[in-house]
Amino acid sequence: MTSAKLTIRMTYSEKCVKFFLLLLTCITSVCYARIENHAISWITLDFPPYYIYADRDEGEGRDEQVISLLHTQLNKLDYYHHSFPASRAIHELSHSRSGYCMVSLYKTASRQKYITYTKHHSTVGLSPGLALRKETIQKLELDVRQPVSLVNLMLKHDLTLGIAQSRSYGEKLDKLIERLPREQVVIRPGWDTLQSLTNMLVKKRVDLVLGYPSEHYYLSKRLGADNLTQIALIGVPLIAKGYIGCTNNDLGKKAVALFDQTLVNLVKTEEYKRIMLKWLPAHLKSKLNRHLINETAQLNNEVHIGEDRN
C-alpha cells in the first residue's frame, strides 16, 4: 500500500513539473508572439571596454558580448545595433517613439518614468573608483589599498574630477558628485568620453577620473599610461549591477518581460562569467569571481523563477 501511494505521489509530482514547464513554454511563446514582428534595437556606445569599435579587440566589449549571448537564447528574435554618443544615449532611449533598449543601466528614480527595466541584473562588476597619477598618490601620501572619501579628497587638496556627461555612477555616487563645487568637476560630452578624460589625466588637465576598474585598466593599457593607478572609494558597495532598460512603451515592456525569463539562467553560465571577468586585471578578477560563484550558488537554490532579488 505504501509503495502504491508513493507511486501515485511521484506521478502527481511529475505532472506538476510537466505542467509548470508547459506553462513556462506558453508564457515564452506568448512573449515571442507579441514581439515577433519587431526587432530589438540596441543602443551601443563607443565606450570601451563595454563596446569596442576600432581596435584589435573590436567586437570583444563586455556589453556587446552580453547582447550576443542573450540572443543565442532568443534566436527567433532579430536585433540591430544603433550607435550614439554616450552623452546622447539616455535621451534617445527615454524619448524614442519606436523604442530602444540598452543592456546595462543603473536604475535611478529620474529615469524610471521613461525607461522600463528588467528585474534581474544583466551585468555585474566592481563598483566605480578613481584613476589618478602615481605622483598624486605619492604627493598626498595615499595608500592605494585603502579606500578614500571622494568629497574629502577633493575639498582638502583642491583636486579636479573628470566625469562623463549624462552618466549615472549609482545613486550614492551621483549624490556625492552633486555636492562637489562645480569649478572642480569637468564634465566631458561626446564620443569616447572616458578615453578623452584619461588623456586629460595623463596631461595633468584633471587630477582624478571617475570610472570602473575594467575601464581604467583597459584604457591605461591601450594608452600605454604606466604612470596611472586606481583607488577605491569609501561608502560605495563592492559590486555594481546593471539592468536591461528599454523605452517605456508597450513593446519595451514586452521585451523586458522576455529578457527577464532569459536572464535567470543566462547569468549562471560559464560564458557569462567569462565575459564579466574579461576586462579586469588578475587581482581584481579573483575578487569579482568570488562574488559570481556565490551568487550562482544562491540562484541555484532559489525556487521562484523570475523573483526579484535586487
> Are 200 and 253 members of one domain?
no
Distance CA 237, CA 245 (A): 21
> Are 167 and 152 members of one domain?
yes
- Are the C-beta atoms of residues 180 and 151 closer than 8 Å to each other? yes
Q: How confident is the model at residue 37 (pLDDT cuts 50, 70, 90)?
A: low
From 212, 231, 250, the end of a domain falls on 231
pLDDT tens string 204-231: 999 999 999 999 999 888 888 889 999 9
If you search the block for the grid coordinates 591605461, which residue do you land on?
A: 220
Structural domain span for residue 249: 38-124+242-300
Residue 135 has pLDDT above 90, yes or no: yes
> Are 144 and 220 members of one domain?
yes
Q: How confident is the model at residue 9 (pLDDT cuts 50, 70, 90)?
A: very low
309: cell is 532579488
> Are 98 and 180 members of one domain?
no
How deeply is 47 buried, as exposed, middle or buried, from its count of CB atoms within 10 A (0-12, 13-18, 19+)? buried
Strands (E) located in the chain: 40-44, 79-83, 101-105, 115-126, 129-133, 161-164, 185-188, 208-211, 228-231, 239-247
Residue 212 lies in a domain: yes
**pTM for this structure?**
0.78
Residue 4 lies in a domain: no
From 231, 259, 274, the end of a domain falls on 231
- Are the C-beta atoms of residues 256 and 244 closer than 8 Å to each other? yes
The CATH number covering residue 151 comes to: 3.40.190.10
Residue 308 lies in a domain: no
> Are 115 and 192 members of one domain?
no
Residue 193 has pLDDT above 60, yes or no: yes
Sign of CA dihedral 263, 268, 272, 277: positive
For the chain, what is the domain count? Answer: 2
Residue 277 lies in a domain: yes
From 231, 263, 292, the end of a domain falls on 231
- Give how far Cα 93 sits from Cα of 70, 131, 164, 212, Å: 19, 29, 17, 22
- pLDDT of 145: 85
Q: How confident is the model at residue 33 (pLDDT cuts 50, 70, 90)?
A: very low
Residue 26 lies in a domain: no
Distance CA 219, CA 49 (A): 8
Report the chain's mean pLDDT, rounded to a whole number: 84
Residue 11 lies in a domain: no
Residue 11 has pLDDT above 70, yes or no: no
162: cell is 573628470
> Are 119 and 251 members of one domain?
yes
pLDDT tens string 223-258: 888 899 999 999 888 899 999 999 999 999 999 999
